């Protein structure tokens, strides 16, 4: 189990990759973000996207999938998140893209009012197969502290 106390500012993680499919872009757009440039090549061609592009919210969901699946290798003492800061969609994501998700710990703060909890901030960067950053954000995650109070 990985606890708040086991994490240091500067730690970096390669969470993994995600292959983006046309079918998934269309399905997500139909359900959650039915804008024309997410639904049609013809409509997207008339925009700055130039071709079918995934919703930014879909890109965020794909990223979350990669991050959570990476925890299967090492259980985390996470307690959820109160949100994200500075979410930026930098470049469009297209069918056939392979997204790579990386994170670096930029801050950690033990709770003053709840000594068994701490909060970490992770700068997450999502890049495509060409190494171009397509999305960044800073996640805020609450974690349990190690019951014995020591780092592993």
pLDDT in tens, 8-61: 999 999 999 999 999 999 999 999 999 999 999 999 999 999 999 999 999 999
Is the pLDDT reported for residue 136 higher than 60?
Answer: yes
Sequence-distant (6+) residues with CB within 8 A of 36 are: 43, 44
101 assigned to some structural domain: yes
pLDDT of res. 4: 95
- Give the count of domains, the chain: 1
Q: Which of the 8 DSSP states describes residue 131?
A: S
Mean pLDDT of 60-86: 92
In a domain, 149, yes or no: no
In a domain, 87, yes or no: yes
Residue 152 in domain: no
Torsion of CA 31, 36, 40, 41, to 10 degrees: -140
Alpha carbon distance 71, 57 (integer Å): 22
Helix 22-32 with 56-70: angle, nearest 10 deg: 110
Residue 72 confidence (pLDDT) above 90: no
Query: Residue ranges of the alpha helices (H) in 40-102?
Result: 41-45, 56-70
Which range marks the domain in which residue 135 is found?
Answer: 4-144
Token pair for 23 = 């079918």
Q: Residues 105-126: what's their mean pLDDT? A: 95
Whether the pLDDT of residue 151 is over 70: the answer is no
Q: How far apart are CA 51 and CA 34, in angstroms?
A: 15
The answer to the question of residue 151 being in a domain is no
Give the residue among 128, 105, 13 at the shortest CA–CA distance from 59.
128
In a domain, 20, yes or no: yes
More confident residue, 13 or 151: 13
Instruction: Give pLDDT, residue 3.
Output: 93
Give how far Cα 52 sits from Cα of 46, 47, 58, 130, 150, Å.
Answer: 10, 10, 13, 18, 50
Residue 58 falls inside a structural domain = yes
What's the CATH code of the domain at 61? 3.10.129.10
Domain membership flag for residue 113: yes
The predicted pLDDT at position 103 comes to 97
**pLDDT at 120 exceeding the cut of 80:** yes
């Amino acid at each position: 189990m990985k606890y708040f106390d086991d994490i240091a500012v500067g730690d970096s993680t390669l969470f993994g990759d995600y292959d983006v499919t046309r079918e998934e872009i269309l399905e997500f757009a139909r359900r959650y973000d039915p804008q024309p440039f997410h639904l049609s090549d013809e409509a997207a061609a008339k925009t700055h996207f130039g071709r079918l592009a995934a919703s930014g919210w879909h890109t965020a969901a794909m990223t979350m999938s990669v991050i959570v699946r990476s925890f299967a290798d090492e259980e985390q003492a996470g307690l959820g998140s109160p949100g994200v800061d500075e979410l930026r969609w930098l470049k469009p994501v297209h069918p056939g893209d392979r997204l790579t998700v990386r994170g670096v710990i930029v801050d950690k703060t033990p709770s003053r009012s709840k000594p068994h909890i701490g909060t970490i901030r992770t700068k997450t960067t999502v890049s495509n197969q060409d190494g171009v950053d397509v999305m960044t954000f800073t996640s805020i995650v609450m974690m349990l502290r190690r019951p014995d109070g020591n780092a592993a």
